[in-house]
Structure 1
Amino acid sequence: MTIHTEHPFDTPDEDRDPVRRLRGRVGGTVSLWTSGQGIERAGLTVSSYLVATGDPGRVVGLLHAESDLLDRLEESGTAVVALLGARDQRLADAFAGTMPAPGGPFRLTDWEQTAWGPRATSTTSWMGVRLDPTSRHDVGWSVLVEATVEHAEVGVDDAPLVHRRGRYQRPAG
């Protein structure tokens, strides 16, 4: 048996899309977007998003065009955007669809239903947002959405979950 330092079936860097490779180097904190309620709830791990301060604050995100989350967000008009910590890596992988979650990813932790959608009780920094229905734009392989921040809570931020170049990273200092 041979132990590889890289995945043996990965496409070599020189054969990958350069824009996608550059985007991977940007990196960012990992968030979990959730919407809906009961059996009609959906979620998606998102690291391509931007929060703009102002009165009111705004959030812009790039969501997978075929995700259940995008459908639910457009139906309900609201969502929870929660920042994930290093302890939430399994949750992030399940909602990204990269790790199996028997019974669905909502079974992996406890949830509370808010006015904007379900929130994992383990998350301490989160926003309740309302979708701007005219903001949907197809951008590359994603859909850009914009929402108004109606509620924000800021909690302990001891070990944020950061994603860069296809891997989770521990931020320095």
Structure 2
Amino acid sequence: MTELVDYLKEVILPEDKKEARKLRIKARQYELMEGVLYKRSFLTPWLRCVGPLQAEYVMREIHEGSCSMHAGPRYVVAKAIRLGYYWPTMHKDARDMIRKCSDCQIHRPVTRHTQQPLTPIMAPWPFYKWGIDIAGPFPEGPGKVKFLIVAMDYFTKLIEAKAVTTITGGQVKKFVWENIVCRF
């Protein structure tokens, strides 16, 4: 905003031609009156441009002030514009302030995601598809076993399980060979 104020006061342009062009186009929307920067608006005649500290005060008064209702960021920005205030990062600042408001975080509605319908996993015949899981670590049991290898056939719902001390690829391979392949 300081470049804009410098341009409006003393017509000082940046050296880069692209930046100077952008600044000239942007300056058409602004006016400097009695040392205060104003922005043209569609709804109101002029919006007073405020700095970061004033912007935070305005947002807090709208959001948490005496007549507030802890409204969302869109309402806070709309109300600030209706009151005649403007700053370039209004939307982001309002969103960030409301995310930090402890009352809003405690009392906001819980968003629920629509659940996907459950789709059963079908197996066409026994032993076609197996699911193998490793669970643990559990509290140490007899023989210092802490983990559990569980295998389930999707068609018959047959379950095979074995407690083991450690989980390695060799142990899982041995479990599958002894409890599934050789057994059936």
TM-score under structure 1 normalisation?
Answer: 0.18
TM-score under structure 2 normalisation?
Answer: 0.17
Q: Which has the larger Rg? A: 2
- Greater relative contact order: 1 or 2 (C-alpha under 8 angstroms, separation 6 or more)? 1
